[in-house]
Structure formats: structure tokens, C-alpha cells
Amino acid sequence: MDIKELEKLQNEGTDSVTSSERRTFLKAGLAITGVFLGGSVLSLTSIRNAHGALGTMPEEAKKFPYSPHYSMVMRQNNCIDCERCKEACVATNHVPSYGYRTTILETQRPIGPKEMERIFVPVLCNQCNRPPCVRVCPTKATYKDKTTGIVMMDNKKCIGCKTCMAACPYNARYFNEETRAVDKCNFCFDTRLSKGEKLTACAAACPADVRVFGDLSDTSSRVYKLVHKPDKLVWVLRPETGALPNVFYMND
Amino acid sequence: MDNILAKVLPQEGGLAGTSSGAYNAAIALSGLLALVGVAFGIHTFFIGHEHAYGVTRDVPWGLLIAAYVFFVVTSTGLCLVSSIGHVFGVKAFQPIAKRSVFLAIASIIAGFLVIAFEIENPWRMAIYNVISPNPTSNIWWMGTLYGAYLFFMLIEFALLQMEKHKQAGMFGLMGVIAGVAAHSNLGAVFGLLNGREFWHGPYMPIYFITSAMMSGCAAVIFFHWIAYKANGWKMSKELEESLQSVAKLGALLYVVIMFFTTWKVLSGITGQPPGKYEAMQAILTGPFAKNFWIGEIAMGLVIPFITILAVRARNLTALFFASASSVIGIFFMRYDLVVVGMLVPHFHGMDIVGQPHLYSYAPTLHEWMVTLGGIGLCVMLFLMGERMFRGHLSESH
């Protein structure tokens, strides 16, 4: 039915609504507002984050100041936790057994009275546009690469104060005893991208097409198209910290 | 050099230190403790920090950062309290100046010892702090300003020894400025981390400076009383009155910190702010409740405050015990502040399967020994200072 025709219809008033119907309506309203007030159901989902990415994302985050502006889009609901991304990362970047650069979190939410939905959330360094770790580093051992926007490490400058680890909202950093420096994901810059590869090891290894890697400043790139897809929720993790991450999440 | 030393080290006058065996034993014991701490610290470099210390990826800072904060808070506090007299000219605070400045130096050196073993690559800090500075980093400012602070305090102390009070006051003022700037930056190291709700906000730098003053008052009374008791000296009337004034200032600061703590707690639980609330619960009813209620509140604030009120800031022995209780309580404050700030997991709102409600951390033997080494060094310097500087007496007062 056309919405304009709906407008022309006459208001039936509330007289024709039976009292039991009215009660049901009120109950539903109370239940819904109760859910909102309690917040328990909503906070299980990433609604707050989704809203953060869509509604209140600061202007700076919508610009892509680097070229190539590397970013990753997680098509989250495709993740089956096979962990091939983790294995590929370890093998490519010589990640020791006590550390990780990327991992997969598991969360769940109720989808019925007794039913739970499992959700896998791959995480890695968010290569933030306003990285807290870079701000706090006393010696510029960690820095934002001027070309690619990747948050890099200059190992020889790292004093091991671990302030970057305390500052990172995403737990993306660990201290590597072999290099005596904090280690983190750099989108495989030294091991793959600088050698002409187009994808990170994790993105290349993903069999479910979860991790989409590319250049956000290129409007024809897949990451650009995914982030700007109409009618799709795109969100980031912990938007309230103001770090302006470059890893985006969506359900495909 | 000999000439300067001769001017700085008093050859006569002042108070002759005791030569009792117990005093010598205390120096030897604290020195040994410092050496053992250093040995544990060096051992850490061989076996690796991740094996020696209890800190992890999840909780990267632990007891050693807390101990460092404790020492530099105490140092800044000693500097600030002593400056009331010899920098800002309040007569009642002048007799405590020399010893307090000396102790400020001793405690910051102890802090530097601890942090040297906490940091993984301290040698890189010496180089890249200079050639690759990051002006947005509070850690950089803190380290640099504390370096300047130590420099000013050393010169100030030397000038005080030479009885050049006017110039000493100038360097004292620079020490105060550097100290306040450094110390508020230390607060900002925590306070400007947006991802750590328990710390984030302007509270930390403000709290750090105020609680430094409080710690300073406690430390002044604590060390003066021991110095005079251990050496069998008798306090002059001026010094007694000075310490009583310090106790009164301390009483005020205990109230201020109680006030701060009350609102910190209330703002942490009202409306259950995510991240902050969980951390606050860890302190109020969780694994840190004993530390908080017994250590921080009872020993650190309430007992010293009530004791000062009960003796009307007169009985120095009672004031000493109040200060001793406070110094111990303040250590708990630093420990809780550092560790609890990191306990709430990063993705706390997301109900991650297998993620604990709170991360956990427990200090290891190595961390304890390095901390005790710092305490040993501070105590040794204090005891030796009494002897070398003959009771830190000043001719002018």
C-alpha cells in the first residue's frame, strides 16, 4: 500500500480497540522499554558500537588520509573459527608461542528462550587513525606510517616501558622477548605487502572470505564498497575510546 | 672537587651520629637488601622479564610500577612540604628543610633503581629519550622532568649545605616546578588513557599532586622521628613545633584525600559506568577489598587522621606511629591504583566466552625483591645521610 494513501485514511480512534488488546499492547511496550532500560539484551549485541560507527562517527574517521589507506573489513558472521588466519600469521611473522598478533574472540547472544547464537569476532591491531599507543610512546618506537597509515614498530627504539600495551584499547600488543620490543600486527607490511603481495597473510588464508583487506582511499576497492554499502550496519570495536580504528565489522 | 666536597660535607658542628653497633647493623642490613634487590634485578635480565615477573600481556604493569610511583610520590611530597619553609618562607617549616630535601633525593634514586629493573631495555631509554623524543608522551615528559627535578634537588641540597639559602631557595623553586610538572605527568600517564575507564579523566594528575603532599607530610615525620630516636638526639623546640605543623598540614590533606576518594568511589558506582564500575567493585567488595578497606582507608587515612586529632598534633611518638601507618597504607594506594586500573578486560562489554570477569595479577619473588631493594637503598641512604651530614642541622635555624 502506498504511504500517501495510508495518510488519507480516517483515524479509527481507540474506541474499537478491546481492553485486552490494549493491555497486550501496553505489556509489549513495557517489555520493550524494560529491555532498553536494563540494557542487558542490547549490550550483548554490538548495537552500541554499530551506532557509534554509523551515527556518531567523527568526521575525521570518514576521511581516509593515507594512500594506500590500508584497512580490513570483517564479514563477521562468516567466521567459523577455523583459526587458519592465526596459523598463517604465526608462520608469516614468526610470532612466538606466548604471543599473538591476531586472534578470534567468541561471544554469544540469546536468539530465543533457550537458544544461543555463537558469534566469532576476529581481532587484530586496528591501525587506528588516532592511535593511543603512538601518542604515549616516549621514544617514537611505535609510529603511524606516513604513507600507509599502518601503526609500525621501530624495534631498536623500544625501551620496554609497556605504556603502549596499557594504552591500547584492543589488547593488540605484547612484548616479544626475542626482539626485546613490543610486537604487533603491521598488516604484514614487512613480510608481504612490501614484497608485492596484495593481501595480509590472515586475509589470504581465510577460507570463508571473512577478512577483506584493501585500500580505503580507493573507491573501487572491495573494502571501500563494503564499508559504504547501503542498508548495511558497519561498526568498529570500542568506538568510545576515540581511537578511530581502521578495522570494520559487518554481517554479510 | 675536594673543595666542593669539603664545603658540602660538614666537618664539625651539627649532631654527631651514634656509632652504636645496632645503627651500623641497620646500615649494613639495608645495604645488603639493596644489593640483593639489584642482584634479583640483574638476574631478571638473564632469565627474561616474562619469566621473572608476574606481569602479562593483559596486565602489563604490576608491583614495580606501583613501587616506582610510591617512591616518586614520596619524593615529590618531601620536596613540596620542605619547600613551604625554605622556598616560600614559612618559618614553621624551615627546620625540616635539609633532611627533607636529602630524603627527596634518596627516595627518587630508589624509584629510579626500581624502574630501571622494571623497564625491559633501560639502556635504550638513555639514548632514544634524547634523540627520538615524543612530546605527546606523558612518559617522556615525566622521565625528562624527573631528571631535571633530581638535578635541581641535588644543587639545592649542596647549596643548603653551604648555607647559601637564597640560591638554594631558587633551585628549590625550580625543583618544585619540575617536581609538580613531572608528577602531574605521571598522573596523566594513567589519566589520559581513554581505554582505561578506571583511570581516565582529570582526577589522576590532581590526586597525584595532593596525595604527594600527604605522603610528604607522613614521610617527614616518619624519618625525622627515626633519625632522632636512632641516634639518641634530642629535638630542639623549633624542630618539634615544625613537625607538629607538618602533622597539622597532614591532617588537612588526609581529609582532602578522603573527600577525593569518596567521590571517586561514588562516581565509579553511580549509574554503573561500564569498565569503571567493575574496577570499583574489585576494590570495594572484590579481590582488592582488603587492600582498600584495611590498607588504604584504615591504615592510610583514618588511623593517621584520628591519631593526629587525638593527640592534637602534639605527641611526636604518636605522630610517628600515625605516619608509619600512613606510609604503609599509601603503598597499598599505589598498588591498587596501578593494578586495578588494568584488571577489567579490554572487551568487557562483549561477553567474550572464556574471558574472566577480571584479569588477575600477583607479584613474583623477583618483583618483591627488587621492591625491597628499592626500600633498602632508600633506608641506607637515609641512615648514612644522618651520619655524613651530622643530623642535617642548619646554622640559620
pLDDT in tens, A112-171: 999 999 999 999 999 999 999 999 999 999 999 999 999 999 999 999 999 999 999 999
Mean per-residue pLDDT, B220-230 = 96
Mean per-residue pLDDT, A197-223 = 95
From A122, A106, A111, select the one nearest A208 (Cα to Cα). Answer: A122
Q: Are B193 and A170 in contact (CB < 8 Å)?
A: no
CA distances from B385 to A136, B15, B116, B146, B393 (A): 37, 12, 23, 22, 12
Looking at the DSSP bridge assignments, the partners of residue B390 are: none
Mean per-residue pLDDT, B272-290 = 96
Whether omega before B205 lies within 30 degrees of 0, making that bond cis, reads no
How is residue A235 annotated by DSSP? Answer: B
pLDDT at residue A4 greater than cutoff 90 = no
Structure confidence at residue A40 (pLDDT) = 38
Least confident of A7-21, A197-211, B99-113, B287-301: A7-21
Pairing, β A247-250 against β A70-75: parallel
Structure confidence at residue A55 (pLDDT) = 42
B192–chain A nearest CA distance, Å? 9
pLDDT at residue B36 greater than cutoff 80 = yes
The one-letter amino acid code at B291 reads N
Q: Considering the domain boundaries, does residue B46 fall inside one?
A: yes
Structure confidence at residue A229 (pLDDT) = 87
Structure confidence at residue A3 (pLDDT) = 65
Q: Are B352 and A106 in contact (CB < 8 Å)?
A: yes
Q: Considering the domain boundaries, does residue B242 fall inside one?
A: yes
Contact B189, A163 (CB under 8 A): yes
Mean per-residue pLDDT, B251-264 = 97
d(CA A249, CA A75): 6
Q: Are B57 and A174 in contact (CB < 8 Å)?
A: yes
From B59, B69, B108, B116, select the one nearest B333 (Cα to Cα). Answer: B69
Contact B239, B224 (CB under 8 A): yes
Q: Considering the domain boundaries, does residue B201 fall inside one?
A: yes
For residue B275 the three cell numbers come to 569498565
What total of structural domains would you count in chain B? 1
For residue B307 the three cell numbers come to 591519631
Phi, psi of B393 (to 5 degrees): -80, 150
Least confident of B3-7, B32-36, B74-78: B3-7
Structure confidence at residue B3 (pLDDT) = 65
Chain B's closest residue to A242, CA to CA, is B194
Angle B77-B83-B88 from CA coordinates, rounded to 5°: 145
Q: What is the pLDDT of residues B370-382, one digit of tens each?
A: 999 999 999 999 9
Interface of A with B in 54-83 (CB under 8 A): none
Q: Considering the domain boundaries, does residue B2 fall inside one?
A: no
The DSSP secondary structure of B157-184, one letter per residue, reads HHHHHTT-HHHHHHHHHHHHHHHHHHHH
Res. B9 pLDDT band, cuts 50 70 90: confident
All domains of chain A in start order, with CATH: 42-95+104-129+187-250 (3.30.70.20)
Report the percentage of chain B scoring pLDDT > 90: 88
Q: What is the pLDDT of residues B77-116, one digit of tens each?
A: 999 999 999 899 999 999 999 999 999 999 999 999 999 9
More confident residue, B58 or A48: B58
pLDDT at residue B397 greater than cutoff 50 = no
Q: Are A139 and B194 in contact (CB < 8 Å)?
A: no
Q: Which residues of B touch A167 (CB under 8 A)?
A: 193, 195-196
Asked if A21 is an interface residue toward chain B (Cβ–Cβ < 8 A), one would say no
Kind plus residue range of the DSSP H or E element containing B110: helix B97-118
pTM: 0.88
Q: Considering the domain boundaries, does residue B147 fall inside one?
A: yes
More confident residue, B17 or B223: B223
pLDDT at residue B52 greater than cutoff 70 = yes
Q: Are A141 and B128 in contact (CB < 8 Å)?
A: yes
Structure confidence at residue A31 (pLDDT) = 56
d(CA A193, CA A213): 11
Q: Considering the domain boundaries, does residue B228 fall inside one?
A: yes
Mean pLDDT, chain B, as a whole number?
Answer: 94
The DSSP secondary structure of B330-374, one letter per residue, reads HHHHHHHHHHHTTTS-TTGGG-BTT--SS------HHHHHHHHHH
Contact B330, B73 (CB under 8 A): yes
Looking at the DSSP bridge assignments, the partners of residue A183 are: A174
Asked if A51 is an interface residue toward chain B (Cβ–Cβ < 8 A), one would say no
Q: How many CB atoms lie within 10 A of CB B360?
A: 12
d(CA B286, CA B237): 47
Asked if B200 is an interface residue toward chain A (Cβ–Cβ < 8 A), one would say no
Of A107, A138, A170, the CB nearest to B352: A107
Pairing, β A70-75 against β A174-176: unpaired
B147–chain A nearest CA distance, Å? 14
Structure confidence at residue A148 (pLDDT) = 94
d(CA A45, CA A77): 13
pLDDT at residue A218 greater than cutoff 50 = yes
Asked if A106 is an interface residue toward chain B (Cβ–Cβ < 8 A), one would say yes
Residue B292: CB partners within 8 Å, gap ≥ 6?
B283, B284, B332, B336
d(CA A4, CA A92): 60
Contact B182, B142 (CB under 8 A): yes
Structure confidence at residue A10 (pLDDT) = 76
pLDDT at residue B60 greater than cutoff 60 = yes
Chain B's closest residue to A122, CA to CA, is B352
Mean pLDDT, chain A, as a whole number?
Answer: 85
Interface of A with B in 176-195 (CB under 8 A): 177, 180-181
pLDDT at residue A59 greater than cutoff 60 = no
The Cα diameter of chain B in Å comes to 71
Q: Which residues of B touch A168 (CB under 8 A)?
A: 195, 346
Chain B's closest residue to A178, CA to CA, is B48
pLDDT at residue A54 greater than cutoff 50 = no
Domain range spanning residue B130?
Answer: 27-348+357-392
Asked if B116 is an interface residue toward chain A (Cβ–Cβ < 8 A), one would say no
Of A105, A138, A157, the CB nearest to B347: A105
Asked if B202 is an interface residue toward chain A (Cβ–Cβ < 8 A), one would say no
d(CA B56, CA B361): 8
Q: Which residues of B touch A166 (CB under 8 A)?
A: 60-61, 193, 196, 342
Of A136, A165, A173, the CB nearest to B137: A136
Structure confidence at residue B206 (pLDDT) = 96
pLDDT at residue B203 greater than cutoff 80 = yes
For an interface test with B, the pick among A37, A142, A162, A178 (most B C-beta atoms closer than 10 Å) comes out as A162
Report the CATH number at residue B101.
Answer: 1.20.1630.10
Contact A233, A50 (CB under 8 A): yes
Structure confidence at residue B284 (pLDDT) = 97
Q: Are A159 and B125 in contact (CB < 8 Å)?
A: yes
Q: Considering the domain boundaries, does residue B272 fall inside one?
A: yes
From A198, A220, A221, A223, select the one nearest A212 (Cα to Cα). Answer: A223
For an interface test with A, the pick among B55, B119, B131, B134 (most A C-beta atoms closer than 10 Å) comes out as B134
pLDDT at residue A39 greater than cutoff 70 = no
Q: What is the pLDDT of residues B132-177, one digit of tens each?
A: 999 999 999 999 999 999 999 999 999 998 888 899 999 999 999 9
CA distances from A227 to A22, A209, A210, A247 (A): 42, 15, 14, 10
Q: Which residues of A touch B121 (CB under 8 A)?
A: 158-160, 180-181
Mean per-residue pLDDT, A82-88 = 96
For residue A103 the three cell numbers come to 586472534
Q: Considering the domain boundaries, does residue B13 fall inside one?
A: no
Res. A74 pLDDT band, cuts 50 70 90: very high
